[in-house]
Chain A
């Protein structure tokens, strides 16, 4: 297939327009993060800070317990990711390999859970966690994150399991390998990259999560990073823009790093592959 040069130019222009739309806001965040207060107050802001400074970062750390919040976020997100994947992998295996009523019910639930507004779940969950005295505690939040990321983890993992050929397992079984050994020595290694990707994805989702953290964590020193970020926006919506931008930028770095890691898997169509399956 040939494409006419004019069409090519149009295509590149369109692509450029897309990238500008998608990336410029982020660059603006960066720009604001490095601007001194005097520049932020000027009526005609510029893209490149005239007098770049790290003062906003220092001020951000002074004003809010960012490090502590980052640690809480890290703890909550990684526990949730590990637990969710550990619980979901066996079930995903069954769902991918067998068509029991249970497996079908489980897939049904995965669908339904996408459609439910969190608010209908969070109110009763809040009341239950309150009775268990798990409000305002990281274990409580982790519990919610695990349950909340299970459908997605299941669904991603089912897709991964399906890529492991059944024939390999059958061959191992014929060779006399036991059920468990087949799983451990044949299926697990082939599944490992998928499990890691799923866990990383669950991690980012929990790291970025805001709603549950907002509802469940109320003591300032127990809050996760996204919730702490909202404290930079004070009463009446007045915000100290520089430190806010600096903190927001820092909070994004881990997510960007993880996405860079699993980027190929995501763009490689794992997601759509599973949608299509």
Chain B
């Protein structure tokens, strides 16, 4: 009986093993998990995959649809279980733990020289961990202010340009001028407050993460880090120039209020223009304005979207060849247009289609030069720090539940405890 049971268990296990995909003798099949989700970008990616498959009989690419909301959990488990897709779409601030965990292939020597030189160094920095490159940064977006054009013109405030943006104090003063009567100068969608705060803080010299001689990272919340949080906090609390009800909202949630004339400006990613174009009522006029600048100019942090190859992939060369195809300048332009974002490649960025006045493409493109690697880049444990410590701390600070000292205390004390666990 015991023997028979054992046989049963073994059978069950075999059944499980054999259901995994085995290497075939036929053409190589690569699984490409894409996170594209807007209709236009899904179409663009699918078309490129079809184009590749039509011209490469020996390497088939299979499109797998992933989702941004659960990508980190999903990839972690897939890597652990040895079931990860060959080609992985993600964002650079999510890669550190996977890169250090040994799940991603080192692409340093695999990438073609053309692609390497096309993408600027500061973009490569976002995917370089311990001197090795674990992904190709390909799309990025600046955070911008989308403004109600009619309202702003009527109020007579100075309209900022990428070359001459507002300063943070100026921004605060202007939102105060625009507010009143149940209307607000700005509505911060703060459901995900951390990357917005940290990336914008770069303009004021905020670094937050400090690396010591041993390479260990600690959190220190200094004067430069406080500029942006304090501005937002005061707009919501003291000035009543920012709507207090949008703290739990995502970017899409605040659009109805923006269209309805309740908010003069909404700070959003550059790609939100697509939703605005789709949903804005007829006759609604809007502008893209650069985000306010601080002591360090209009610099801001960015975590580009990335494409990586799994360390477990048996066909790394083929996978990189597909990446090189997907990221050819003309294809990068298509992907960028599909996602309403900016390409990292210099050739793609020079494409006239991305410099039109229509939908303010030109404003975003002009900001590309100021994008820097996000401060959180390459910090192990950043995702956990962000979700567990920083998100609640910033949300409570912005809602007025805690003060700046408590915010600093939580970011540093609780935060360093988390980071320490990853750096033993």
Contact = CB atoms under 8 A, between A and B. Distances in A.
Determine whether A and B are in direct contact in the complex, meaning some CB atoms lie less than 8 angstroms apart. Answer: yes
A236 B16 contact: no
A140 B16 contact: yes
B206 to A, nearest CB: 24
Contacts of A238: 250, 252-253
Contacts of B81: 129-130, 133, 135-136, 218
A219 B83 contact: yes
A139 B17 CA distance: 9
Nearest to B74: A218
Contact of A218 (B13, B19, B83): B83
B20 interface: yes
Given A132-B13, A218-B74, A236 B19 contact: no
A143 interface: yes
Interface in A112-137: 126, 129-130, 132-137
Interface in B35-94: 37, 64-70, 74, 77-78, 80-83
A54 B349 CA distance: 44
A271 interface: no
A137 B12 contact: no
A224 to B, nearest CB: 15
A234 interface: yes
Interface residues of A, number: 27
A236 B192 contact: yes
Interface string A8-37: 000000000000000000000000000000
Contacts of A139: 12-13, 15-16, 19
A234 B250 CA distance: 11
Instruction: Say whether chain B's binding surface is mostly helix, strand, loop, or mixed.
Output: helix
A147 interface: no
B192 A137 contact: no
Contacts of B82: 130, 133, 135
Contacts of A218: 74, 77-78, 81, 83
Contacts of A215: 77
A220 interface: yes
B267 interface: no
B364 to A, nearest CB: 21
A236 B252 contact: yes
Contacts of A219: 64, 78, 83
A215 B66 CA distance: 16
Contacts of A134: 13, 16-17
Nearest to B251: A236
B157 to A, nearest CB: 30
Nearest to A139: B16
Nearest to A133: B17
A174 interface: no
Nearest to B15: A139
B355 interface: no
B243 to A, nearest CB: 17
B278 to A, nearest CB: 13
A138 interface: yes
B405 to A, nearest CB: 30
A233 interface: yes
B191 interface: yes
A235 interface: yes
Size range of the interface on B? 20 to 34
B64 A220 contact: yes
Interface in A205-256: 215-216, 218-221, 230-231, 233-238
Contacts of B252: 236, 238
Contacts of B78: 136, 218-219
Interface in B69-126: 69-70, 74, 77-78, 80-83
A95 B64 CA distance: 49
Contacts of B64: 219-221
A133 B68 CA distance: 26
A235 B83 contact: no
A144 to B, nearest CB: 12
A236 B65 CA distance: 18
Contacts of A137: 16, 19-20
Nearest to A214: B73
Contacts of B251: 236
A64 to B, nearest CB: 9
Nearest to B85: A219
Nearest to B77: A218
A236 B17 contact: no
A237 B77 contact: no
A136 B17 CA distance: 10
Contacts of B12: 139, 143
A237 B16 CA distance: 34
Interface string B27-41: 000000000010000
B334 to A, nearest CB: 22
18 contacts: A133-B17, A133-B20, A134-B17, A136-B77, A137-B16, A139-B12, A139-B15, A139-B19, A219-B64, A220-B64, A230-B70, A231-B67, A233-B69, A235-B37, A236-B251, A236-B253, A237-B191, A237-B250
Given A139-B15, A221-B64, A238-B250, 11 more contacts: A134-B16, A135-B77, A135-B83, A136-B78, A219-B64, A220-B65, A234-B37, A234-B68, A236-B69, A236-B192, A237-B191
Interface of A: 126, 129-130, 132-140, 143, 215-216, 218-221, 230-231, 233-238
Query: Nearest 7 CB-CB pairs, A to B?
Result: A135-B81, A236-B250, A139-B16, A235-B68, A136-B83, A134-B16, A137-B16
